[in-house]
Amino acid sequence: MTTRRKLAAGNWKMNGTQAALAEISALNAAFPAPACDVIICPPAPFISAMAALKGVVKVGGQDCHANASGAHTGDVSAEILADAGATAVIVGHSERRADHGESDQTVNDKAQAAWRAGLLAIICVGEVEDERTAGNALSIVGGQLAGSIPDGATGENTVIAYEPVWAIGTGLVPTLKDIAEMHDFMRAELTTRFGADVANTIRFLYGGSVKPTNAAEIFAVSNVDGALVGGASLKAADFGGIIAAAANA
């Protein structure tokens, strides 16, 4: 049986100030040797300062351009993130897909860019509410997995985050049965494509309104290897509760 170390990943989105780095210092102090991996993805301007804290909380980007460098005003490459001290980058978050029209192919290109720079790619998928209501959640996510994950994915270079769009920032969470159904389905899809030996090493995060109060029950669900957390990652007190729950799972 494959043991996958749990991962608690935080996504600050477009929030925070440099003063908020005190939250990271608090986490580093509270969890000197956490039983799960911990990554926070702050706005890009904070990455260097966060990396300089050199604690157990690793630093990730929230997006990257597919190219290594060039005339792309306002964008950040995976290489620049790595140079600033990031070890991971989120690609294909639903807010990027919606706000910037990112397709599965765009996300696939960005995941390959992450690998090129030596970063862990956290590839996000998830259905919108109408798709779930219509009974199409599995097929939508299956298509996103097929299109967004490049050939060559392994547990070393890739994490998949299942984030139902209707659960993000809303306080709504799927039933534990629905989370299990989706994560088991994703494991089966990756097993078909990559073989069990590789598929079983790739961690699956659940994301969407994860809080300290529901983290433990979500971490106990089949094929849930951690969480991608938005709102509850901004405060050490909240995120610390989620790290503690992952450690106990």
Helix (H) or strand (E) holding 161: strand 158-162
Of 93, 67, 120, nearest to 13 by C-alpha is 93
Cα distance between residue 41 and residue 67, in whole Å: 20
Which of 34, 55, 60, 230 binds ligand PGA (CB under 6 A)? It is: 230
Least Å distance, CB 143 to ligand PGA, is 20
Interface with ligand PGA, residue 229, by CB under 6 A: yes
SS3 58: strand
List CB contacts of 49: < 8 A, sequence separation 6 or more. Answer: 18, 21
Stretch that binds ligand PGA, among 64-72, 114-122, 139-147, 203-211 (CB under 6 A): 203-211
Cα distance between residue 224 and residue 96, in whole Å: 23
Interface with ligand PGA, residue 231, by CB under 6 A: yes
Of 148 and 194, the one with the shorter C-beta distance to ligand PGA is: 148
Least Å distance, CB 94 to ligand PGA, is 7
Stretch that binds ligand PGA, among 99-107, 142-150, 177-185, 208-216 (CB under 6 A): 208-216
Cα distance between residue 12 and residue 9, in whole Å: 10
Interface with ligand PGA, residue 213, by CB under 6 A: no
Least Å distance, CB 64 to ligand PGA, is 16
Known catalytic residue: 93?
Answer: yes
Of 150 and 207, the one with the shorter C-beta distance to ligand PGA is: 207
CB count within 10 Å of CB 134 equals 11
Question: Please, how many CA atoms are within 13 Å of residue 76, restricted to the half-sphere of its CB?
Answer: 20
Which of 185, 209, 242, 246 binds ligand PGA (CB under 6 A)? It is: 209
166, 172 in Cβ contact below 8 A?
yes
Tell me the helix, strand and coil percentages in the chain, rounded to 5.
45, 15, 40
Question: DSSP string of 207-223?
Answer: ESS--TTTHHHHHTSTT
Stretch that binds ligand PGA, among 58-66, 128-136, 150-158, 226-234 (CB under 6 A): 226-234
Interface with ligand PGA, residue 11, by CB under 6 A: yes
Which of 55, 150, 208, 240 binds ligand PGA (CB under 6 A)? It is: 208
Least Å distance, CB 198 to ligand PGA, is 25
Instruction: Name the residues annotated as catalytic.
Output: 93, 163
Enumerate binding residues for ligand PGA (CB under 6 A).
Answer: 11, 163, 168-169, 207-210, 228-232
